[in-house]
Amino acid sequence: RVQQIYREVVDGYGLSQRVAGWRSLESKAAYSEGDYTELDKALVAASRSLIEQDGAEVIALLGAVMAGVPRRIQNAVPVPVLDGIRCGVPQAEMLVKLGVPKPTTGSYALPGQRAVSNVDAALAAMLSKKPG
């Protein structure tokens, strides 16, 4: 169900041309504890399909539920297998280490102060606090 959301995000960043292909698995196994053998087989098959049919040179497993999965299947897939958490955390750490300021303009900037009306005074006070 979420593939369309991912496609829209990728398209919104202007990166659709960089995606070789998409595959979705209809499995709830990733959301349960236990044996992931069948899930991993399906992920490897989907990865090989992307490589062989679409020319993929990297496999990106999407969704937080895929965090850590590349370690389980990498040996069976002949191209790098990545997940968003494993990629995102080092990027966030790098930004902290660089000490770059937060953007004050553009799409990553915090939205400007907004007026709050018709709410309890305590809630209005809490909403007006600046992030610390």
pLDDT by residue (tens digit) across 79-130? 999 999 999 999 999 999 999 898 899 988 888 777 778 899 899 888 877 6
CA-CA distance, 114 to 120, in Å (whole number)? 16
pLDDT band at 37 (very low <50, low <70, confident <90, very high): very high
% of the chain beyond a pLDDT of 70: 98
Tell me the three-class secondary structure of the chain, residue by residue: CCHHHHHHHHHHCCCHHHCCCCCCCCCCHHHCCCCCHHHHHHHHHHHHHHHHHHCCCCEEECCHHHCCHHHHHHHHCCCCEEEHHHHHHHHHHHHHHHCCCCCCCCCCCCCCCCCCCCCCHHHHHHHHCCCC
